[in-house]
Structure 1
């Protein structure tokens, strides 16, 4: 094994150890009843052991929020997905499972067998990893089987999407947004509300809904966002946005701790081509306190006294290690909620709209710069596939909310 890979593997294992410390202590408190039922979802049982295993895996993956609470929510959804798959006669094959595990290992530059061994050394069973992938694969089959024939992409939609993503024709959009905050406990109700709001076709009604329900700072303006180049938006949202006509509202867009809706107020071609970006340089400074008045005031004071991202290093030097994160990532690698906020910012502008998933930290998000590139021409097949996946994702979210509403869920 090369020195570089050994170092990378060592860092990964150290990360596992650090993530595990807070979880193993809690496990011991009910070690004698680890396999007793903690949650019942219809006729399916989730044990305390499964909850702890999934929580540990989520912590190792640096998933934001309370790992144990998120573990419970994910496992409940997994049971609903697997039940739907069983009814539909869908069962993942071994090849698909191994491929999914391989993709997880690839993200940390490890071979699948080394990845599994590293996790096992810190207490994560291979069966936990398999379960994590099986429900996702089965659910994809359910949605494809149930809704695949209903998703028809028109040639006009493909044309608009290609124009929006290419550098040969400049397109900018004028949008309004509603961003509704969620918690695991309110996700079902918010999804239902967002589905209702997606039926709005009036500018006045959307503006009123934004003022009532949105948690974004744009709510004071009825959700209105200034003109922006379509290429500022995350690539996987561009087909969704460009398929809208004036007054139309998008399907709900799932974010880590919110659900977003967009209304098209205007779309136009420009003489200048829309740039494509190879990398987005941005910084995130985590401020304790969430959206309290004191923390927001601190963020405002910071914004008023800095001019560029480099100034954040001076502020962060007296803060706990890890408070400042600066990344230069390809647009497709950026978390969707962060990417949406960055789309609204010019260089050296700041957003304080986001918090961590547990809402304990305010994210001071600053745009440092965009690196433009000349992209390859998009194929019609790729664009159609992206549009199709976006539609299927909307169907999937609605169906899961329905299954959860109809299920009998008992948590102990």
Structure 2
């Protein structure tokens, strides 16, 4: 689950308490009914039962998750199995005491005790065991990511200076990047990742652009992957900490996407007089074209791009076709898949890109930016109250360092999880 989704759910716990306090106890569910414990999904042989899927969906619904509960439950449980396997491989063991502490911490986000949280969830038909499994998975993943990537996460004084400049009122940060996105289809993931690791060691902008012209699948390929100046807040959440951690000429570590891997080189970075603004939501449309990156599909995408100026125009393009050929919606930046978010970051309203695929490369996705909802940057949190009752000044450098480190660790973890999903054998019944 993304940090955005987790925070959104935690923020609703107090509302959960209010809405369920007066609710009658749910009738005992038919846990022993025939077929309830049959597997509906297997992840590398590990079963997910109908009961687990139903329970997780109920939990997410009670927590008002910002997505369809059934779909999100499926995604989370698949990820839980992958996280558990990764934890076993690294010898991670979570004790009962850790689980209890995790449940207390989660409940405290809504001003509840763990026992109160459990009682309220049970009133909504969610068992204590389901809540425990939800917390256990998060604890396992924290241990796994810290063990794998903790030593790779460091914050330099230059990183802090850039972040301070980015958060200063009246100023902003913009970056000049080059990009390479290499699809896995054709060469295969192992070979592509090996090539990506070689590219990540480059420090020459000319060498990076030469690689972009050879292997990149983006529309910037012929231009050597060169992107124009863009505000750092335009970048997707997964990319911002990676870019702010670079010096000019350096390249990000390979960033796994859905069926591809991305690399970005920082060419330049500068402070501007324009205040930065955060985007609370992004509205975009996705039009699906069969054929993947074949000449026919790319030609069709170019034709659609030439015939449309706004997202509303896509309805005319999709007229008479199945309803699922066109999707349009508004999402928080952290909820948008990384490959789509990266593609959208280059676009202004009405502009399109078509370098993302789905269905193992068999479907080309034409993306159009409909609009961004701007909100001011949130101020830094206030300090804690000291013994004298006065607000204690926070150690801002330490806070900022922790924030940068946490974002980098999360980006590594997200990339690792995407790779695990890409390598897993997932069977649905």
Q: Give the match for residue 212 of structure 1.
A: 214
Aligned mates of 2:318, 2:334 — CA distance in 1: 27
Worse-matched range after superposition: 229-238 or 170-179: 229-238
Secondary structure of residue in 1 paired with 2:364: strand
Cα deviations across residues 115-167 of structure 1 (Å, max 9, x unaligned)?
876xx9xxxxx77x976874553132133256536633234312312423555
1:175 correspondence with 2:192: no
Secondary structure of residue in 1 paired with 2:220: helix
Tell me by how many angstroms 1:74 deviates.
Answer: 8.0
TM-score of the aligned structures, taking structure 2 as reference length: 0.65
Q: Give the match for residue 265 of structure 2.
A: 263
Aligned mates of 1:60, 1:295 — CA distance in 2: 34
Task: Name the structure where helix makes up a greater proportion of residues.
Answer: 1
Cα deviations across residues 203-238 of structure 1 (Å, max 9, x unaligned)?
122122223332222222221111212221123422
Aligned residue pairs total 351
Q: Give the match for residue 289 of structure 2.
A: 287
Q: Give the match for residue 275 of structure 2.
A: 273
- 1:280/1:371 contact within 8 Å kept: yes
Aligned mates of 1:341, 1:156 — CA distance in 2: 28
Q: Give the match for residue 223 of structure 1.
A: 225
Q: Judging changes above 3 Å, is the alpha-carbon distance between structure 1 residues 165 and 216 closer, same or farther for their aligned structure 2 residues?
A: farther
Secondary structure of residue in 2 paired with 1:93: helix
Unaligned runs of 5+ in 1: 6-26, 40-45, 104-110, 121-125
1:83 correspondence with 2:85: no
Q: Give the match for residue 409 of structure 2.
A: 392
Tell me by how many angstroms 1:102 deviates.
Answer: 12
Which of 217, 242, 245 pairs up with 1:243? 245
Q: Judging changes above 3 Å, is the alpha-carbon distance between structure 1 residues 337 and 133 closer, same or farther for their aligned structure 2 residues?
A: farther
Aligned mates of 1:73, 1:357 — CA distance in 2: 19
Tell me by how many angstroms 1:53 deviates.
Answer: 9.2
Q: Give the match for residue 254 of structure 2.
A: 252
Aligned mates of 1:38, 1:240 — CA distance in 2: 30
**Residue pairs, 1:79-118, within 5 angstroms:** 79-86=85-92, 89-91=93-95, 93-94=99-100, 96=102, 113=122
Aligned mates of 1:276, 1:225 — CA distance in 2: 21
Q: Judging changes above 3 Å, is the alpha-carbon distance between structure 1 residues 290 and 148 closer, same or farther for their aligned structure 2 residues?
A: closer
Q: Give the match for residue 203 of structure 2.
A: 201
Aligned mates of 2:326, 2:199 — CA distance in 1: 36
Aligned mates of 2:218, 2:49 — CA distance in 1: 33
**Residue pairs, 1:332-351, within 5 angstroms:** 332-351=334-353
Tell me by how many angstroms 1:308 deviates.
Answer: 1.0
Tell me by how many angstroms 1:357 deviates.
Answer: 4.7
Q: Judging changes above 3 Å, is the alpha-carbon distance between structure 1 residues 396 and 172 closer, same or farther for their aligned structure 2 residues?
A: closer
Aligned mates of 1:373, 1:347 — CA distance in 2: 17
- 2:291/2:362 contact within 8 Å kept: yes
Unaligned runs of 5+ in 2: 1-15, 20-34, 58-67, 110-119, 382-395
Q: Give the match for residue 150 of structure 2.
A: 148
Aligned mates of 2:415, 2:159 — CA distance in 1: 23
Secondary structure of residue in 2 paired with 1:217: coil
Q: Give the match for residue 385 of structure 2.
A: none
Secondary structure of residue in 1 paired with 2:144: helix
